[in-house]
Every structure is written in structure tokens, then in C-alpha cells.
Amino acid sequence: MSVVHHPDITTLMAFSAGTLDEPYALVISTHLAMCAACREQIKRIDLIGGALLDAEEEVPVEDDAVDRLFARLDTPKEAGDTINVIPKVRDVPAPLVRYLPDGLDAAPWKARGGGVWTCDLPVSANAQSRLMLLKVGAGRAVPEHGHGGHELTLILKGAYKDRFGRFGPGDIADHDQDVDHQPIAEMGEDCICLVAVDAKLNFRSRIMKLLQPFIGM
Amino acid sequence: MYAVVMSDTTPQPAHGTAPIVDPAELLSRIAEQKDRQALAELFRLLAPRLKSMMLKLGADSALAEDLVQETLLAVWRKAHLYSPERGAPVTWIFTIARNLRIDQLRRLSNKPYEDLDGIDATDDTPTGLQVVEQQQMVSRVKSALETLPDDQRQVVKLSFLNDMTHSDISAALGIPLGTVKSRLRLAYGRLRPVLEDLQ
Ligand SMILES: [Zn+2]
């Protein structure tokens, strides 16, 4: 898979620092599953956290801290104590499988009109933003829209073009607020994207404005 | 070698007396023999630093102690997952503390991070770096961080240590979000030659 469009370096830094909201972290994680170059990049960025921890001053811990730790060592194992090699479910990269266990086709798509379907994916109750799948019919356009905030779009299947270029499987569009674009899905195959948004999408087209209350964007 | 990295706090032991504190060695003793003494040594080496980091999250001393305990408990349980491919021990332990923060403080799933471990484990492009080289890298990144302009180092630390989002940093410093990002970008640009020196 040849990935052309990667996340912004500041987005990768936030991922490494652990400060992204869950939908964004999941989109980045799914990109990393599809992009060896960014997996290497993340290892380099992780060095920043390691170096900062190494450089931390030392604050004395309680005298009985080691004993308290020893007392807890025999508690049962927990999930995450072993490496989970999650089998790729058909067309779903590993980190996304938890959120979409039955594959893309089985997703509960909701038709939004104009050849656009969406599907909200469940995230932790504490998440402040939204994770969803977006399917754009082959040759159809996503209405021109600006962004109310940081938006990450990862192409899972198919491809689209906009003024930033062609986005195919594994490519990620990392857009800040105040970016306007109008993606058009390529002919031949529906384009399916994994999207994290932190604010209501500001759709500008008249039709989408009509649809907006219905879509709940 | 780690004594070089930690030279400010951990004096080089005299030959033949105290055991040399090599965290990678401690991790492998934990993984292979469930060696509690190794865990205690790792605790002495890193718990005070981890506590300092946890205190930066706004945690009081008791909560910070708890988070340090949780981190070392996770290290005990996951030690068999460590390999030099994953960076120096201190880097790996940072990511464990980070995942704990996501789970316990943000109350969000850290599975997007943990599920990547399985991909790394089957990765066919190993970096080939030995743990000694990884520790030297940490040392060089530490020095490089010290040479960053204050405003850049500040946003990097607020992000990685204080667990603040870019928006949080923007609000706390009273600067636009775009400025936070441009400082991070500049910081990365300055660190890049060190970070990308994969020998
Ligand atoms: Zn990438």
C-alpha cells in the first residue's frame, strides 16, 4: 500500500503524548496500522516522552511504596498483558476491529441522500468528539464544507479527489478549522472513510443545509 | 551504559561492588524470572521521576503515588512485551504511563494504542537498534530538548508531561492554537536531526 498523505507532525506528536480525544487517536492508530513510515515516525516521536521522563526531577516516594507494590504483584492478569495480534477482519485494519467487529459492509449505514451514507461508531462516554464512517458513492461529491474544528479523514476503501490531491486507501486528510474543500469520489468504487470530528461540520451546500438537522451534523 | 544517561542522579557503581543498574537487564529479569528484586531496583530508579510527572497532571501526592504504583505494576505484568525494538526502557515506560493516564484520568479507551503493539510485533521492518543505542538516543534527545528555545520547550513539556491538549495549552498560555502548533512544529524541526539519526 503506498500511502501519500500522512498526518500533520503536530497530530502525531499529540498522539504520542496521549492527548488526542479517542476518535482522533483511533483514526491515527488505524492510519499507523496501514502506514509503516508513520509507525517508524511515532517511534522517533516517542523518544521525546522517554527523554522528558528521563530528565524529570526526582520526587521522593513514600517509604512503604515498594512494599505496597509487592503486595499487589499476585493479582490476576489483565487484558493488555499479552500482545493482541488482532486478525484483520476482511477490510478493517486491526485497531478499528473493536469499533467495527463485523466489517464495513455490515456497518449500520444510514442514507443521507445525494449518494452519501454515514455510520456513527461508539466511543467511550467521556469522548468529546465523534467517530464515524462516511461512504460517498462512486463519482459523487461530498458537498463543499468548511471545518468547525480539527477533522481527520482516513480513506479505508476507494478514493476521492479534492484541491489537496488524490486520497486513496491509507491516506489521511488532516484538516484544521478554516479549510474549505469539496471531495469527489472516484468513479468505479464507493469511497469509504473513517472520520473524527470535534465540531458540527459546516456544510455550505444548500441541499446539505436542508439535510443538516436530519443528519445531526 | 545507562549510568551515563543518568549520570546526574545515578553514580557509576565501582567495579565489582554494587550491581550495575541497567533497566533493560532489570526488565528481562522481571520477564524471565519474575524477579522482585529487579522490580524494586527499577522502582528506585524510575518511581521518583514518574511521581514528578504524575504530579504535573494536577494529581495530589496520594494520587500521584497510586499512578506510579499502577505504572510499575503494569511494567511488572508487561515486561515480557518489552524489546529493544520498542525503544529504550524509559521510553517504553513513558508509553505505559501515558496509556495509564488515558485510561485512568481521561477515562478513554487506550486500546487504539495497545492494539498497535500487535502490529509492531509482526512488523517486518525492525529498526535493528540495540538497547544501548536506544539509551544513547534518549540521552541525545535530552540534550537537544535543553537547547530548544524556552517557548518551544514549554509547549512540548505541557503536551508530553502535563497531558494538556493543544487547545488546553492555547487557553493556558493565552496564545492562538495555531501558535501552539507552530511552536511544536519548530521544536520537532530542531529535534529532527537527533530523532532521525537511526545510525
Ligand atoms: Zn503515514
ipTM exceeding cut-off 0.90 for this assembly: no
Greater confidence (B119 vs A31) lies with: A31
pLDDT average, residue stretch A51-59: 97
Most confident of A78-87, A122-131, B123-132: A122-131
Per-residue pLDDT band at A168 (split at 50, 70, 90): very high
Q: How many domains does chain A have?
A: 1
Q: What is the pLDDT of residue B133?
A: 85
- Give A36 Cα–ligand 1 centroid separation in angstroms: 7
pLDDT average, residue stretch A84-107: 82
Q: What is the pLDDT of residue B73?
A: 94
- Residue from A21, A24, A40, A47 to probe the interface with B (highest B Cβ count within 10 Å): A47
Q: What is the CATH number of the domain that holds A12?
A: 2.60.120.10
CA angle at B154 for the pair B174 and B144, rounded to the nearest 5°: 155
Q: What is the pLDDT of residues A174-203, one digit of tens each?
A: 987 667 778 899 999 999 999 998 755 444
pLDDT average, residue stretch A17-26: 97
Residues of chain B with pLDDT under 70: 1-20, 120-128, 198-199
Task: Give yes or no for residue A57 having a pLDDT over 80.
Answer: yes
Which domain, by its residues, includes A88? 1-217
Q: What is the pLDDT of residue A216?
A: 45
Rounded Cα–Cα distance for residues B170 and B184 (Å): 12
Task: Give yes or no for residue A85 having a pLDDT over 80.
Answer: no
- Give A32 Cα–ligand 1 centroid separation in angstroms: 6
Indicate yes or no: CB of B164 within 8 angstroms of CB of A19: yes
Rounded Cα–Cα distance for residues B50 and B71 (Å): 8
Contacts with B, A 56-85, CB within 8 Å: 56-62, 65-66, 68-70, 72-73, 77-78, 80-85
Of A168, A137, A144, nearest in space to A155 by CA: A168
Grid cell for residue A132: 464515524
Place of cell 468505479: A188
Q: What is the pLDDT of residue A36?
A: 93
- Classify residue A50 as left (phi > 0), alpha (psi -120 to 50) or beta: alpha
Per-residue pLDDT band at A207 (split at 50, 70, 90): very low
Chain-centroid distance, C-alpha A107: 17
A95 vs B94, B115, B137: nearest CB: B115
Q: What is the pLDDT of residue A176?
A: 79
Indicate yes or no: CB of B115 within 8 angstroms of CB of A94: yes
pTM: 0.88
Rounded Cα–Cα distance for residues A170 and A31 (Å): 6
Q: What is the pLDDT of residue B134?
A: 87
